[in-house]
């Protein structure tokens, strides 16, 4: 089973690395980071790079596709090489997935039309304009499409997918092996739980609110 994780400039690192740490532990898998060009691809802060080992043209029939989000998502909202690749690989993929605002890329490519989808809470209102139905759920499975909310939920998405592919025991073994037993210091991980002033501050800084970007 081949897993392709898309990289693009200014992606969010955990969106890609979280699913990688889970899915790469599935039996008989090969994971490849893919980009428009090979070589280092820098995250949103520019301080971390992952290496795209293959170009889009090199990876034609992955079984699983993972699309991360991040500020660089805005550059991939119009038709172009990334959209063309996504539509092509989606035709034969067993699972097409996203984390955070990666769902906006999938939706803009026409792959989530009429489907329920998750995204970062600040970006949820972008989904209806792209033909998808937004939900506030952390992980959404709609057919072969599995979308996750913001950043850290990529781990939950990958564990959900691992269960569908290999069964509960394998997924639970991966969870235990990675000791994924989150106990956050604060209960502020969703807008309905965080203090109003924290929600307002993040909303005020959001690129979606400030510039209406999609």
What residues are labeled active site?
Answer: 100
| Exposure class string for 152-190: b at 16+ Cβ within 10 A, else e | bbbbbbbbbbbbebbeeeebeebbeeeeeeeeeeeeeee
The C-alpha atoms of residue 13 and residue 11 are separated, in whole angstroms, by 6
- Determine if residue 103 is left, alpha or beta; phi over 0 gives left, psi from -120 to 50 gives alpha, anything else beta: alpha
Measuring CA to CA, which residue among 83, 64, 44, 96 is closest to residue 207? 44
Report the distance separating Cα 41 and Cα 8, nearest Å: 6
Residues 143 and 109: their CA atoms lie apart, in Å, by 17
Rounded to 5°, angle at Cα 46 from 137 and 95: 35
Q: Check residue 168 and report its DSSP letter.
A: H
């Amino acid at each position: 089973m081949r897993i392709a994780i898309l990289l693009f400039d200014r992606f969010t690192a955990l969106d890609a690395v979280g699913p990688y740490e889970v899915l790469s532990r599935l039996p008989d898998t090969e994971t490849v980071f893919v980009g428009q060009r090979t070589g280092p691809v820098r995250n949103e802060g520019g301080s971390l790079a992952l290496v795209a080992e293959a170009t889009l043209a090199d990876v034609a029939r992955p079984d699983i596709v993972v699309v991360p989000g991040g500020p660089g998502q805005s550059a991939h909202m119009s038709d172009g090489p990334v959209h063309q690749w996504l539509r092509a690989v989606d035709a034969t993929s067993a699972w097409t997935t996203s984390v955070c605002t990666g769902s906006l890329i999938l939706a803009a490519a026409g792959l989530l039309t009429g489907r329920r989808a998750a995204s970062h809470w600040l970006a949820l209102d972008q989904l209806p304009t792209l033909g998808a139905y937004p939900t506030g759920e952390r992980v959404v499975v709609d057919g072969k499409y599995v979308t996750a909310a913001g950043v850290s939920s990529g781990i939950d998405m990958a564990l959900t997918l691992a269960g569908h592919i290999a069964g509960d025991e394998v997924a639970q073994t991966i969870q235990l092996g990675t000791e994924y037993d989150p106990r956050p210091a604060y209960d502020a991980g969703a807008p309905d739980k965080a203090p109003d002033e924290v929600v307002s501050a993040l909303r005020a800084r959001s690129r979606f609110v400030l510039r209406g970007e999609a």
